[in-house]
């Protein structure tokens, strides 16, 4: 079939720009994005295309007694209605690590909103009406919604007959994975403690709430295969899961990355990919599926809600003695990334502190709640919220300044993680705290103006709830640690294909990777790396697709490190080949070709002393140099299943926040005045993008501090607020100024010394805001998000 409208195109940038690494080069896709021409997956359009619609379960846990699709099939304009029985092969499940997720429900649904049937029709309304005519008879089952109901002796198993690789070591089949970490002797260390604080913390279910809903277009191809244009975080991971279900070899499932409207972890799992392909192959027509916002809340996994139980001890001079914790993550009905989230939560549960004696346990549950998986911060966010609350409690008990207390116990380069792994690159935890504390404070009563109170600067904003009455300021600090890249022995590689040739007398470079650009600016950085390494100005970025090797996921703060590393590596290999050609052609004219360190700069071959040996155009003439190569960071190892020991992580990322809030203490409304951040980024490849990542991550942390939560009815396990009317994310009027102090301490093991940066600011933002609210109100506040009723003692039902 012909190409659809909205097929991604190459992006060339740089005829006038220098734009190497370290510069704030502008996005190559910026113009397309501000003119509305950039094609997102939901913008794809094909002549004669059909619209796919998914019928989802209206109950959380039930046996499916029967499904009757006859009336839907008979609807004019409907081309196909598929259920489990129509799946073409024996592979009927998928999953990131554990293949436990049915493509379409088989005999049972395990959570509210699970896909049961799919419809293709010539208009979305026709598809919706037809889907509504499918009759599903459910026999409801009791719902499992928390640890008590999941591990009760007579608990119904969410998944019967588990045979995944975690099944053998978990204490109960309704536990996906359990990771203990034991180091030192907690019982002995506890005796040295002068103060001991305990806390039980609750972290609510957060949604990624990316703005571009799940969507894509599947186009059947003449060879019996299918071409899927899709918004995802990892093309090759999708491919690995899709092809077996379709019964096609991977080379017959072509995947092209379409414009991605944000991701934040929510596109790591499949959503409508297989459904669109199944309908396209069945009908022989292109099929487009676009979720609306309501469906999007059911169409992707969320951040794990968690219960965290912590005990810390400290001596009276402020040294931490020990830590015990238990972290219970609710993974919902399917495993998704739960095992890895458990690994992160346990191994990062100590935070960026030195504690030699620890006893840690993290588990993820199977329940009938919505499935949870990857979201920015991935297991480290929940832990940071809890351990930072503990640090404040300890400081208060000891009568110490909370920042000084943290600095006294701060991790440094060389500190051992609870897993026994040494931190082998800079860990400027105390310095980040110092910097964030040193930033000037915003003026007091900044809401007062000559014309009275400016409502927009007060809690409640334009809703006119206070003119200053009840408003109390509070200040809070927090710091966090996040691992970068995939851990625990995962083969975390990326692939880059780099090509150099002369076009119109000018050397140009083409970079081709399968990296998912989700907004983070990877495409900008790839071009910068190519310019720096190969001395050209003009760089073309090819669309990401599966014609090149895997780039791994756009997650875990890893893409600049890993795919950036792969691009750098491929560029270096191209450079070697170009120099070889140069030596072959011109070596006899100048001895430096053989003896000097040679670089490519400004379109020329130069010695490290700056002497020009020749133009790249003359060296290459009509030769084309192309390299495709995989690149890996240092290997990691799995954590021991009993002791949690092991060199599991690649790199760490650190950020600290200071939050200044004003709380209307009578109404329980919060206005965050400022969220200052200090972060070590190793090396800022693109300083403008670095700030954008830090500020964006900071505000997602703010959101889950004061408003964002998916509310699940504990009696029915049904989602109560799947809309932007009731799942609130911060508006520009909820967002403070975010001054950022960027520190660049190189990690000698990473490309250019860089550090993955995307997630760390999401960690410390939430506990800093909570600390500031505690500071303003004097309340203990052990849950997030904190809602007005928690600040006013009105959280209990009147009934």
Partner 1 sequence: MRVNFTVNGRPQEADDVWEGESLLYVLRERLGLPGSKNACEQGECGSCTVRLDGVPVCSCLVAAGQVEGREVVTVEGLADYAKQRAEGGCATGACGTSLQNAQQWEAKGDSHTGEGTELSPIQQAFIDAGAVQCGFCTPGLLVAADEMLERNPTPTDADIREALSGNLCRCTGYEKIMDAVRLAAARQGEAV
Partner 2 sequence: MDFLRPASWEEALAAKAEHPTAVPIAGGTDVMVEINFDHRRPEYLMDLNRIGDLSEWEVGEESVRLGASVPYTTIMENLRAELPGLALASHTVASPQIRNRGGVGGNLGTASPAGDAHPALLAAGAEVEVESVRGSRRIPIDEFYTGVKRNALAPDELIRAVHVKKADGPQQFSKVGTRNAMVIAVCAFGLALHPRTRTVRTGIGSAAPTPVRAKAAEEFLNAALEEGGFWDNGKIITPSVAKQFADLCSASCNPIDDVRGTASYRRHAVGVMARRTLTWTWESYRGTRRTTEGAA
| Contacting residue, 102, 305, 459, 535, with partner 2 by CB under 8 A | 459
Residue 637 touches partner 2, criterion: CB under 8 A = no
Residue 88 touches partner 2, criterion: CB under 8 A = no
Smallest gap from residue 136 Cβ to partner 1 (A): 25
Q: Which residues contact 39 (CB under 8 A, 6 or more apart)?
A: 5, 6, 7, 8, 258, 259
Give the DSSP H/E element, type plus range, for residue 448.
strand 448-449
User: What CA–CA distance (Å, rounded) separates 404 from 579?
Assistant: 54
- Alpha helix (H) residue ranges in 159-299: 186-191, 235-246, 273-283, 293-299
Give the bridge partners for 390, in sequence order. Answer: none
Q: Distances in Å between the alpha carbon of 592 and those of 571, 603, 618, 620? A: 22, 18, 17, 18
User: What CA–CA distance (Å, rounded) separates 506 from 602?
Assistant: 11
Question: Token pair for residue 199?
Answer: 């806390």
Which entry of partner 2, partner 1, none binds 465, CB below 5 to 8 A by partner kind? partner 2
Which entry of partner 2, partner 1, none binds 798, CB below 5 to 8 A by partner kind? partner 2
Residue 779 touches partner 2, criterion: CB under 8 A = no
Residue 450 touches partner 2, criterion: CB under 8 A = no
Question: Could you tell me if residue 547 is left (phi over 0), alpha (psi between -120 and 50 degrees) or otherwise beta?
Answer: alpha
Q: Which is nearer to partner 1, 316 or 456 (CB)?
A: 456
Residue 467 touches partner 2, criterion: CB under 8 A = yes
Smallest gap from residue 425 Cβ to partner 2 (A): 40
CA angle at 89 for the pair 370 and 163, rounded to the nearest 5°: 55
Smallest gap from residue 119 Cβ to partner 2 (A): 13
Contact 566, 511 (CB under 8 A): no
* Residue numbers 300-329 binding partner 2 by CB under 8 A: none
Residue 788 touches partner 2, criterion: CB under 8 A = yes
Q: Which is nearer to partner 2, 128 or 583 (CB)?
A: 128
* Residue numbers 726-755 binding partner 2 by CB under 8 A: 726, 728, 730-734
Q: Which is nearer to partner 2, 163 or 798 (CB)?
A: 798
Residue 3 touches partner 2, criterion: CB under 8 A = no
State phi, psi for 27 to the nearest 5 degrees: -60, 135
Q: Which is nearer to partner 2, 2 or 797 (CB)?
A: 797
Choices 394-402, 436-444, 571-579, 783-791 (CB under 8 A): range interacting with partner 2: 783-791
* Residue numbers 394-433 binding partner 2 by CB under 8 A: none
Residue 796 touches partner 2, criterion: CB under 8 A = yes
Q: Closest Cα to residue 2, out of 330, 285, 401, 399?
A: 285
| Contacting residue, 3, 9, 89, 794, with partner 2 by CB under 8 A | 794
Q: Distances in Å between the alpha carbon of 6 and those of 9, 531, 701? A: 9, 28, 34
Q: What is the 3-state secondary structure (H, E, C) of 549-562?
A: CCCCCCCCCCHHHH
Smallest gap from residue 136 Cβ to partner 2 (A): 17
Q: Which is nearer to partner 1, 309 or 724 (CB)?
A: 724
Question: Could you tell me if residue 383 is left (phi over 0), alpha (psi between -120 and 50 degrees) or otherwise beta?
Answer: alpha
| Contacting residue, 184, 262, 461, 692, with partner 2 by CB under 8 A | 461
Q: Helix, strand or coil for residue 228?
A: strand
Q: Which is nearer to partner 1, 211 or 438 (CB)?
A: 211
Q: Which is nearer to partner 1, 31 or 464 (CB)?
A: 31
Residue 77 touches partner 2, criterion: CB under 8 A = no
Rg (CA), the chain: 27
Q: Which is nearer to partner 1, 40 or 366 (CB)?
A: 40
Smallest gap from residue 734 Cβ to partner 1 (A): 9
Choices 391-399, 471-479, 633-641, 663-671 (CB under 8 A): range interacting with partner 2: 663-671
Smallest gap from residue 360 Cβ to partner 1 (A): 32
Q: Distances in Å between the alpha carbon of 348 and those of 187, 253, 353, 382, 409? A: 21, 38, 10, 10, 15
User: What CA–CA distance (Å, rounded) separates 665 from 471?
Assistant: 6
DSSP annotation of 548: S
Which entry of partner 1, partner 2, none binds 792, CB below 5 to 8 A by partner kind? partner 2
Q: Which is nearer to partner 2, 413 or 795 (CB)?
A: 795
| Contacting residue, 170, 669, 677, 684, with partner 2 by CB under 8 A | 669
Q: Which is nearer to partner 1, 363 or 738 (CB)?
A: 738
Q: Which is nearer to partner 2, 169 or 720 (CB)?
A: 720
Smallest gap from residue 155 Cβ to partner 2 (A): 28
Residue 462 touches partner 2, criterion: CB under 8 A = yes
Residue 782 touches partner 2, criterion: CB under 8 A = no
Q: Which is nearer to partner 2, 169 or 456 (CB)?
A: 456
User: What CA–CA distance (Å, rounded) separates 77 from 720?
Assistant: 33
Choices 28-36, 172-180, 494-502, 705-713 (CB under 8 A): range interacting with partner 2: 705-713
Going through 107-237 in order, the beta strands assigned E by DSSP cover 108-109, 115-121, 135-140, 175-183, 195-203, 215-220, 226-230
User: What CA–CA distance (Å, rounded) separates 394 from 672?
Assistant: 25
* Residue 719: Cβ-neighbour burial (10 angstroms; 0-12, 13-18, 19+): buried
Neighbouring C-beta atoms of residue 374, cutoff 10 Å: 30
Q: Which is nearer to partner 1, 449 or 797 (CB)?
A: 449
Residue 211 touches partner 2, criterion: CB under 8 A = no
Q: Which residues contact 559 (CB under 8 A, 6 or more apart)?
A: 494, 515, 520, 522, 551, 552
> Under the rule (CB under 8 A), what is the footprint of partner 2?
128, 132, 292, 294, 456, 459-467, 469-470, 666-669, 671, 706-707, 711, 720-721, 723, 725-726, 728, 730-734, 787-789, 792, 794-799
């Amino acid at each position: 079939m012909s190409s659809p409208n909205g097929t991604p195109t190459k992006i060339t940038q740089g005829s006038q720009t220098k734009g190497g690494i370290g510069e704030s080069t502008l996005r190559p896709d910026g113009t397309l994005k501000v003119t509305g021409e950039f094609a997102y997956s939901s913008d794809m359009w094909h002549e004669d295309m059909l619209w796919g619609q998914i019928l989802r379960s209206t109950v959380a846990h039930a046996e499916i007694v029967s499904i009757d699709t006859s009336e839907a099939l008979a609807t004019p304009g409907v081309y196909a209605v598929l259920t489990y029985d129509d799946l073409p092969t024996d592979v009927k499940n998928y999953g990131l690590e554990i293949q436990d997720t049915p493509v379409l429900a088989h005999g049972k649904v395990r959570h509210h909103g699970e896909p049961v049937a799919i419809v293709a029709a010539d208009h979305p309304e026709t598809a919706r009406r037809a889907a509504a005519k499918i009759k599903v008879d459910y026999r409801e089952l009791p719902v499992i919604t928390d640890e008590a109901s999941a591990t009760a002796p007579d608990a119904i198993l969410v998944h019967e007959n588990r045979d995944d690789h975690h099944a053998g070591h978990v204490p109960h089949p309704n536990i996906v994975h359990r990771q203990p970490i034991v180091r030192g002797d907690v019982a002995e260390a506890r005796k040295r403690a002068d103060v001991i604080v305990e806390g039980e913390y609750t972290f609510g279910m957060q949604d990624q709430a990316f703005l571009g809903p799940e969507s894509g277009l599947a186009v059947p191809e003449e060879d019996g295969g299918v071409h899927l244009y899709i918004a995802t975080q990892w093309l090759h991971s999708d491919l690995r899961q899709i092809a077996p279900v379709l019964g096609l070899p991977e080379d017959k499932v072509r995947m092209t990355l379409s414009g991605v409207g944000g991701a934040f972890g929510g596109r790591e799992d499949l959503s409508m990919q297989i459904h669109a392909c199944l309908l396209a192959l069945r009908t022989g027509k292109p099929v487009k599926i676009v979720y609306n916002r309501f469906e999007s809340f059911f169409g992707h996994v969320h951040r794990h809600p968690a219960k965290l139980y912590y005990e810390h001890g400290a001596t009276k001079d402020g040294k931490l003695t020990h830590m015990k914790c238990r972290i219970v993550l609710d993974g919902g009905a399917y495993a998704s990334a739960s095992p890895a989230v458990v690994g992160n939560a346990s191994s990062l549960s100590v935070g960026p502190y030195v504690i030699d004696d620890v006893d840690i346990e993290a588990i993820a549950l199977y329940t009938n709640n919505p499935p949870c998986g990857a979201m920015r911060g991935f297991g480290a966010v929940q832990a940071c919220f809890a351990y930072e609350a503990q640090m404040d409690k300890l400081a208060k008990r000891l009568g110490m300044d909370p920042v000084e207390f943290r600095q006294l116990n701060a991790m440094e380069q060389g500190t051992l993680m609870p897993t026994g792994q040494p931190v082998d690159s800079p860990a400027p935890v105390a310095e980040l705290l110092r910097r964030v504390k040193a930033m000037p404070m915003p003026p007091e009563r900044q809401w007062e103006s000559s014309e009275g109170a400016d409502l927009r600067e007060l809690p409640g904003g334009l809703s006119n709830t206070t003119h200053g009455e009840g408003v109390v300021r509070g200040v809070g600090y927090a710091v966090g640690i996040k691992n970068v890249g995939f851990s625990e022995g995962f083969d975390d590689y990326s692939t880059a294909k780099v090509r150099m040739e002369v076009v119109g007398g000018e050397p140009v470079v083409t970079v081709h990777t399968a990296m998912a650009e989700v907004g983070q600016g990877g495409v900008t950085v790839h071009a910068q790396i190519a310019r720096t390494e190969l001395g050209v100005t003009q760089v073309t970025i090819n669309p990401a697709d599966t014609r090149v090797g895997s780039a791994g996921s756009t997650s875990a703060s890893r893409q600049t490190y890993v795919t950036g590393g792969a691009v750098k590596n491929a560029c270096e290999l191209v450079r070697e080949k170009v120099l070889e050609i140069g030596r072959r052609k011109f070596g006899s004219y100048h001895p430096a070709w053989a003896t000097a360190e040679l670089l490519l700069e400004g379109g020329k071959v130069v010695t490290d002393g700056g002497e020009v040996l020749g133009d790249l155009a003359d060296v290459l003439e009509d030769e084309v140099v192309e390299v495709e190569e995989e690149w890996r960071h240092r290997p990691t190892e799995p954590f021991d299943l009993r002791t949690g020991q092991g060199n599991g992580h690649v790199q760490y990322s650190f950020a600290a926040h200071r939050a200044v809030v004003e709380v209307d203490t009578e109404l329980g409304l919060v206005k965050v005045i400022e969220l200052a951040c200090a972060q070590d980024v190793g090396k800022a490849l693109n300083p403008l993008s670095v700030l954008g990542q830090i500020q964006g991550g900071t505000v997602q942390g703010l959101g889950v501090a004061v408003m964002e939560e998916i509310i699940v009815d504990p009696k029915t396990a049904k989602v109560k607020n799947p809309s932007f009317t009731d799942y609130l994310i911060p508006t520009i009027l909820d967002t403070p100024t975010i001054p950022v102090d960027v520190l660049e301490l190189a990690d000698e093991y990473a490309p250019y010394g860089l550090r993955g940066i995307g997630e760390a600011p999401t960690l410390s933002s939430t506990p800093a805001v909570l600390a500031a609210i505690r500071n303003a109100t004097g309340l203990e506040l052990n849950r997030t998000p904190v809602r007005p009723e928690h600040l006013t003692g009105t959280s209990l039902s009147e009934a």
